[in-house]
Amino acid sequence: MLWATFKDALVWVTACWVGAIIAIAPRASAELPAAAEVSPPLQTLVAQAERAGLRVLSSRHLILVTDRPPRKADGLHELPGIFDEAFAVWCRHYKLDPDDHADWQALGCLVVDRDRFRAAGLLPDEVPDFTNGYCWFHRFWLADQSNPDYRRHLLLHEGVHAFTTTLLKLNTPTWYTEGIAEFLATHRLVAPAPRFQLTPIPAAASDVEQLGRIETIARLRAAGSVPSLDEVFQLRPTLHGTITSYASAWAAVAFLAGHPRYAKALATAERGPLDASFTTRLSSVPQWHPAAARRDFDAFTADVDYGYDFDRMVIDWSPGKPMEAITTKLPLSFSVRPDHGWQNTGWRLRAGRQYQLRASGRCVVGTVDGLDGPTVLESEADGVSIDWYRGRPIGRLLAAQWNATPTDSSRAAFKILGEGTTITLTATQDGPLFLQINLQPGNRMKAHEALTVSLTTQLQPPASD
């Protein structure tokens, strides 16, 4: 959420289907004091908490105060230690030496009964009536959550805000303020220690229960309402913001930080002042190409899913060569790998002309567990129905062209023109043909071998009536 250095306060609302809707409300009329006027000291607040009978859990970088009764396996006692591990990761992201900030500490209040915190002097009247969380410099508050994974994520999200606003004086546009908090809070726990593992794009839904960012982007895509990169950059606090804005902000930061074409540009911008000029400075670095970034972001939001790997999903957008310039002899052949996403054949098709493709061979698309152990799962171009992804059998060959201007006003995306072993397609535009093997992004690392696709015939355009 945004904090008191802005003119707006964010209110987080839990959504039944994904776990959170975030509404953005105007800041409370009473002014909170500036950072230099913060009082009393954190240790004084700890003494107030202890006198009120509240639980206090501490580590080097976090004092956690809560009125939540102890419950078996609720994981509360682990939160301060996990926060410390996350703090080291946040420092590395911003090229800070954790040893230089060994004394930095935040105080977080995990709240069940707000009146109890008010009576203890730990919830000032000036703090807006937040629903899920609120941050004010070194202090933050979060409402208790029924799901321990989401509780931990929310605590870390607010912790990122405390970290960035105090150590980095962050005052950036909304998309980065919220996007980086989501980016640096998204994680899973592993063993052995350190348990905190940053996973900006989660490997599995079970790692981030109730978070719902990927599901939100998919829902927006299906509805034709996913925002463009430019629209995300223009996000502003509004009275009735929803999880859409925050999922979009997460998507933008995850995209920029992970994509090999833009990671350097984002890192360069992050080395400068984290102020209102952030977006302008980002788009001014030599590595930034606006049209390419818009297209790559559209491709990212179309395909992002659990286990998404930029190295395997990055797209070659070269225009290809006209068929006549490649060869006068058919067939042409192209090897399609299952461990990568959309692959540019280099064949530049002509709009309105028909083409025939024929695929051969087998590729490995994963394994299935059996009584005698895992069995390698092979597929031909028609796919295998043992598992489906996005309405098609895994392993099925897909042929498409990039549609930059859909007629239904939705975002640009690949338009699938044919699928399977034998394909007859009509090119929708002058441009390259792309192929991929249908597979969950998270399973591509397990896939290997390839299908061979041959372009056997160039047919004349269909006769018009």
- Surface-to-core class of residue 285, CB atoms within 10 Å of its CB (0-12 exposed, 13-18 middle, 19+ buried): middle
Position 112, amino acid? V
Q: Report pLDDT for 26.
A: 31
DSSP-derived secondary structure for 400-462: EEEESS-TTS---EEEEEEESSEEEEE-SSSEEEEEEE---GGGGGG-EE-EEEEEEEEEPPP
**Token output for 160:** 């990122």
Within 10 Å of residue 294's Cβ, how many Cβ atoms?
16
Q: Report pLDDT for 461.
A: 67
**Token output for 217:** 């982007």
Within 10 Å of residue 292's Cβ, how many Cβ atoms?
12
Q: How far apart are CA 134 and CA 109, in angstroms?
A: 10
Q: Report pLDDT for 194.
A: 86
φ, ψ (nearest 5 deg) of residue 40: -80, 175
Residues linked to residue 64 through DSSP beta bridges, in sequence order: 57, 108
Q: At what angle do helices 213-223 and 243-258 cross, to 10 degrees?
A: 100
The SS3 of residue 320 is coil
Residues linked to residue 377 through DSSP beta bridges, in sequence order: 366
φ, ψ (nearest 5 deg) of residue 357: -120, 145
Mark the ranges of the chain whose per-residue pLDDT is less than 50. Answer: 1-31, 36-37, 238-241
Q: Which of 64, 269, 285 is nearest to 154 (CA)?
A: 64
Within 10 Å of residue 334's Cβ, how many Cβ atoms?
19
**Domains in the chain, CATH or no CATH each:** 8-303 (1.10.390), 315-459 (2.60.120.430)
* Cβ 222 vs Cβ 460: under 8 Å: no
**Token output for 393:** 């059998």
Instruction: Look up tokens 């959309």; give the residue.
Output: 342
Q: How far apart are CA 331 and CA 457, in angstroms?
A: 7
The SS3 of residue 377 is strand
Instruction: Look up tokens 């559209």; give the residue.
Output: 298
Q: Report pLDDT for 329.
A: 74
List the end-to-end C-alpha distance of the chain, in Å, as a whole number: 59
Q: Which of 83, 228, 250 is nearest to 175 (CA)?
A: 250
Q: Which of 362, 422, 437, 428 is nearest to 392 (CA)?
A: 437
Report cis status (omega within 30 of 0) of the bond before 194: yes
* Cβ 213 vs Cβ 182: under 8 Å: yes
Q: Report pLDDT for 464.
A: 59
- Residue 51's alpha-carbon distances to 67, 105, 121, in angstroms, are 13, 21, 11
* Cβ 250 vs Cβ 202: under 8 Å: no
DSSP-derived secondary structure for 321-353: EEHHHH-SSS-EEEEE-TTSSSEEEEEEE-TT-
Q: How far apart are CA 411 and CA 121, in angstroms?
A: 50
